[in-house]
Structure 1
């Protein structure tokens, strides 16, 4: 419990530092903050006075930050300058698309990367190993936006198997609409996981317990699946968690290519419109996702590897 408490305290501290930095940098950004917040509305003295009163622009930055933080911890991130809607409602409307894409891509990444990496390690030096390694290198070399365009042209435009844009309405439609974006997002990530999995599995080849398992006459697939897979779980958890965080916070090119109205498109629009409340909330949300995923990885370490669990207890 002490280990978990320390990790939670560190997570809260990191989020606090991130909120201070993001708020301060946005407040210090070039340009007239009053005019930015006013947006395209007529610039009358009354309108400017209302904006300054609503956003407390006459107060010092630390006072404004304290007021914003007090509302933020209660889930109130203010109102969008551009749409005048609550920021939490805007994010809640866009989050399911990004979360669905991130989860779908992670399933594809793990479902392809783990078996392919193990297969390459089991047949080290064979044609299968060389083919998987070469395919992973090619996949890593293809930019995500280029893969998105290629998939769109081949499977959506030419063959017509998948829709060109949008996220669908029902659950079944959403799966169909997100298939090509998820493949585009997962291609490079699966290649990265294959290389990581193969390297981690090859490190176990000379371990005594694998030699003993072979001496007992166990089959090669059973040795690798029953013994090696769990001992390669730590690097896989690390890479998988980081990829999930990257999917939730950085699937911008894929969302733009496939016309998905997710958090990436929302962030681009908010930055272009100088919608500061939305940008602040998205930056904090991105930091919370990264910190939360890393905390979950630490907890997964405790569940998977007894050595980590005993070390945490001793500390």
Structure 2
């Protein structure tokens, strides 16, 4: 199997996944209890005449497959629908909030990569004491829910010490970074622990392999062995898990955004779901799925660049 066939298969799988996801998202929202006419009526109890007018205006009585096709065709033409609650274009709501979530996720990724991969490397190569300390720390990090970590961070570093703000995303530049630091640490906690464990287990497996023993016999230094034979061979697995983790950050950000009062897409999704704003829920959900699929494809691509033989061999198997 050549590279063009491999890339074509990945792109085809990505498109199919997005299509099936759109069907699932749309169908699930149709099955949720509640009537969106209440949101469209502005919260007041609508009269039968107003209900009929709203349902006709928004085509709520059309067959589900017709409404799905109209929604999908609108997305391809750049029309993502109008919010039931805010009475404005959905993308005008999603775009600025996505920027805040993206900045939060990028800061979280920096924390995860530096501390997660770094602690995993230390646990694998620096002896039993550090290994045990990292293992205990990662177990604690994976056990604590995100909202508990958020509360602890706010209590210690915002309320008690007064080092960081506790609400809002701040202005641009360093003020934005300052406001997003505690949310990013809270969001990173569980994922950081997971990346650390995966990194450690991948490196330990490579350190005990035959080719590493052969490299030692050949007289290579510990640094050369680690860089050429250990970390490089463990990188595809670490990259794959990191890609999945980064994609999951966008969905997991909702809890942290609500806790710290951030105006990201996670808090927008929570608010829209509570108020039956279906067009907003549909678009945000589809954006999150698209991010997840694309980032996993990127991680697979990077793994293929680092170790192309294993990828092609896996496809042939």
RMSD between aligned alpha carbons?
2.0
2:188 paired residue number: 186
How many pairs are equivalent? 314
Paired residue for 1:105, among 101, 108, 126? 108
Given the alignment of the two structures, is residue 118 of structure 1 paired with residue 117 of structure 2, yes or no?
A: no
> Mapping of 1:153-172 within 5 angstroms?
153-172=155-174
Deviations 1:123-157 (A, max 9, x none): 34x21221222221222222211111111111111
2:286 paired residue number: 284
> Mapping of 1:34-49 within 5 angstroms?
34-40=37-43, 43-44=46-47, 47-49=50-52
Between stretches 50-59 and 260-269, larger displacement belongs to 50-59
Given the alignment of the two structures, is residue 10 of structure 1 paired with residue 13 of structure 2, yes or no?
A: yes
Could you tell me which runs of 5 or more consecutive residues in structure 2 were left unpaired when the two chains were aligned.
none
2:151 paired residue number: 149
Q: CA 1:170–1:232 in structure 2 vs 1: closer, same or farther (change >3 Å)?
A: same
How far off its partner does 1:35 sit?
A: 3.8
Deviations 1:256-287 (A, max 9, x none): 11111111111111011110110111111121
TM-score when normalising by structure 1: 0.92
Deviations 1:181-221 (A, max 9, x none): 11111122111111111111111123233223323433323
Could you tell me which runs of 5 or more consecutive residues in structure 1 were left unpaired when the two chains were aligned.
none
> Mapping of 1:55-134 within 5 angstroms?
55-124=58-127, 126-134=128-136
Q: CA 1:277–1:142 in structure 2 vs 1: closer, same or farther (change >3 Å)?
A: same
Given the alignment of the two structures, is residue 231 of structure 1 paired with residue 217 of structure 2, yes or no?
A: no
Between stretches 292-301 and 266-275, larger displacement belongs to 292-301
CA contact (8 A) 1:79 1:85 kept: yes
Between stretches 31-40 and 283-292, larger displacement belongs to 31-40
CA contact (8 A) 1:122 1:224 kept: no
Q: Distance in 2 between matches of 1:100 and 1:161?
A: 20
